[in-house]
C-alpha cells in the first residue's frame, strides 16, 4: 500500500483506483494457467480489509465455483461476512483455496473446500451433494468458474480447447443448476458470471466470449423457467477485473494496459464486483430474476 499525503492515511488498492491514483500500475507479468494470487503484482483487493457485512445472508448456505481467487474469493468473503456458510469449489489451486477458506472462517462461518474439474458432470453432481450434506441444504449457487485462452488466429483454437471452454464455462452451469434446483426452496438464488464479452465480444477471446453470450441467454431462459418455483436466476457481467486469469491467459502487453479501454480508464478490483452478488443472493432482490447487472467501469451493456 502507499500513503495518500492529502488524506494522511493508508489507502487500499481499491480506494486508490476509485480516486484515480495511478502510482501502482500493472507490470508486465505472465503465469502458467490457471494462475495464483500471490504471484500477482499488484495484489488484487478482495475486500479483506474493507467489506463490512450487515447480516443480509444470515443462515444461508452457498456454493461458489471458482471460489478460490479473484471474483470468487471476493464473493466468498462478502457472503461469509453477511452470514452465509460457503462451499468453495476450485480446480487445483489449493493454496488460494485455503486462503479463501480462512477468510470465511475468520468471519465465523463454515467453509468447505471442494477440488476438481467442473467440466465433468459427475464432479458437478458431487459438488451439490457435498454442499447439501455438509450444510443441510443449498440456498445460493454462484456459477463463477471460467476458462479462457487468448488467440491471434482461428487456427489457435483446436477442438479440445473449444470443448474445454464450453464444458467449463457453460456446461457446468447446466449440470450444477440441474442438480441444485431439487434441493432449493422458494427464495433460493442462482447467480451466473457472464461478462462484458457477452455484449461486446473480444475477437482474441473467441471461445470464451461465445460462452459468455450463451450464459446470458441461459440466465434469461432459466430465470423464466424457475420463476414459478420462486427460485431466482440472475447474472453479473464484469468488465476487466484484476484476477489471476489475466496474467495467466493474456499476452504481456495486454496485461500492462489491462482495463484502460473503459470510460473509468482502469481495471476493477474483485472487491468492486462482490456487492451485486450479495444483492442478488439476498431477499432484497426478491423481484429480480432473469436480469444481468453490468460491472464494467462504464462500458455500456444495452
Domain boundaries, the chain: 55-295
- How many residues in the chain? 302
* Beta strands 292-295; 232-238: pairing state: parallel
Point out the residues that are catalytic.
208
CA-CA distance, 217 to 223, in Å (whole number)?
A: 10
- Where helices occur in the chain by DSSP H, the ranges are 13-18, 70-81, 94-106, 121-135, 159-166, 172-180, 206-226, 245-249, 252-256, 274-281
Report the Cα 90 to chain-centroid distance in Å: 12
CB atoms within 10 A of CB 106: 13
Eight-class DSSP state of 198: G
Task: Give the CA-trace dihedral at 201, 205, 207, 210, to 10 degrees.
Answer: -10
pLDDT-derived band at 40, boundaries 50, 70, 90: confident
pLDDT-derived band at 19, boundaries 50, 70, 90: very low
Mean pLDDT of 34-58: 88
Model confidence at 15: pLDDT above 70: no
pLDDT-derived band at 20, boundaries 50, 70, 90: very low
Give the residue with greater pLDDT, 192 vs 248: 192
Model confidence at 155: pLDDT above 70: yes
Q: Which fold has domain 55-295?
A: Rossmann fold (3.40.50)
The SS3 assignment for 141 reads strand
Sign of CA dihedral 75, 77, 78, 79: positive
How does pLDDT run across 211-257, given as a tens digit for each residue?
999 999 999 999 999 999 999 999 999 999 988 778 877 777 778 78
Could you tell me if 198 and 156 are in contact, meaning their C-beta atoms sit under 8 angstroms apart? Answer: no
Question: What's the pTM?
Answer: 0.90
How does pLDDT run across 102-114, given as a tens digit for each residue?
999 999 999 999 9
CA-CA distance, 213 to 198, in Å (whole number)?
A: 4
Hey, which residues does 142 pair with through a beta bridge? 64, 191
Could you tell me if 77 and 37 are in contact, meaning their C-beta atoms sit under 8 angstroms apart? Answer: no
Residue 294, H or E segment: strand 292-295
Report whether the peptide linkage leading into residue 22 is cis, meaning its omega lies within 30 degrees of zero: no
Percent of the chain past pLDDT 90, that is, above it, reads 78
Identify the residue whose cell numbers are 464479452: 197
Identify the residue whose cell numbers are 477442438: 159
CA-CA distance, 179 to 128, in Å (whole number)?
A: 7
Model confidence at 128: pLDDT above 60: yes
Average pLDDT of the chain? 90
Sequence-ordered list of residues with C-beta below 8 angstroms from that of 290, at least 6 positions apart, any chain: 219, 220, 221, 222, 223, 224, 227, 233, 234
pLDDT-derived band at 282, boundaries 50, 70, 90: very high
How much is the pLDDT for 122? 98
User: First and final CA of the chain: distance in angstroms?
Assistant: 36
Model confidence at 11: pLDDT above 60: no
User: Buried (b) or exposed (e) across 43-69, using 16+ Cβ within 10 A?
Assistant: ebbbbbeebebeebbeebbbbbbbbbb
pLDDT-derived band at 171, boundaries 50, 70, 90: very high
Amino acid at each position: 500500500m502507499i500513503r495518500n499525503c492529502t488524506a494522511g492515511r493508508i489507502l487500499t488498492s481499491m480506494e486508490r483506483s476509485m480516486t484515480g491514483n495511478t502510482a501502482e500500475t500493472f507490470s508486465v507479468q505472465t503465469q502458467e494457467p490457471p494462475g495464483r494470487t500471490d504471484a500477482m503484482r499488484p495484489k488484487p483487493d478482495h475486500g479483506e480489509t474493507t467489506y463490512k457485512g450487515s447480516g443480509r445472508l444470515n443462515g444461508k448456505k452457498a456454493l461458489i465455483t471458482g471460489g478460490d481467487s479473484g471474483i470468487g474469493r471476493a464473493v466468498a468473503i462478502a457472503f461469509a461476512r453477511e452470514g452465509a456458510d460457503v462451499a468453495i469449489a476450485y480446480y487445483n489451486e489449493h493454496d488460494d483455496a485455503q486462503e479463501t477458506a480462512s477468510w470465511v472462517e475468520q468471519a465465523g462461518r463454515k467453509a468447505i473446500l471442494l477440488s476438481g474439474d467442473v467440466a465433468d458432470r459427475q464432479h458437478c453432481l458431487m459438488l451439490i451433494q457435498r454442499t447439501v450434506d455438509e450444510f443441510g441444504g443449498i440456498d445460493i449457487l454462484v456459477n463463477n468458474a471460467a476458462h479462457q485462452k487468448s488467440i491471434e488466429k482461428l487456427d489457435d483454437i483446436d477442438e479440445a480447447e473449444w470443448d474445454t471452454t464450453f464444458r467449463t464455462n457453460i456446461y457446468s452451469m447446466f449440470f450444477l443448476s440441474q442438480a441444485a434446483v431439487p434441493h432449493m426452496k422458494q427464495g433460493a438464488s442462482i447467480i451466473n458470471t457472464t461478462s462484458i464479452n457477452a455484449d461486446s465480444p473480444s475477437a482474441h477471446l473467441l471461445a470464451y466470449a461465445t460462452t459468455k453470450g450463451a450464459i446470458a441467454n441461459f440466465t434469461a431462459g432459466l430465470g423464466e423457467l424457475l420463476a414459478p418455483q420462486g427460485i431466482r436466476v440472475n447474472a453479473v457481467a464484469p468488465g476487466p477485473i484484476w484476477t489471476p486469469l489475466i496474467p495467466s491467459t493474456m499476452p504481456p502487453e495486454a496485461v500492462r494496459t489491462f482495463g484502460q479501454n473503459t470510460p473509468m480508464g482502469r481495471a476493477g478490483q474483485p472487491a468492486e464486483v462482490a456487492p451485486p452478488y450479495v444483492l442478488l443472493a439476498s431477499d432484497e432482490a426478491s423481484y429480480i430474476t432473469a436480469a444481468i447487472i453490468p460491472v464494467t467501469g462504464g462500458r455500456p451493456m444495452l
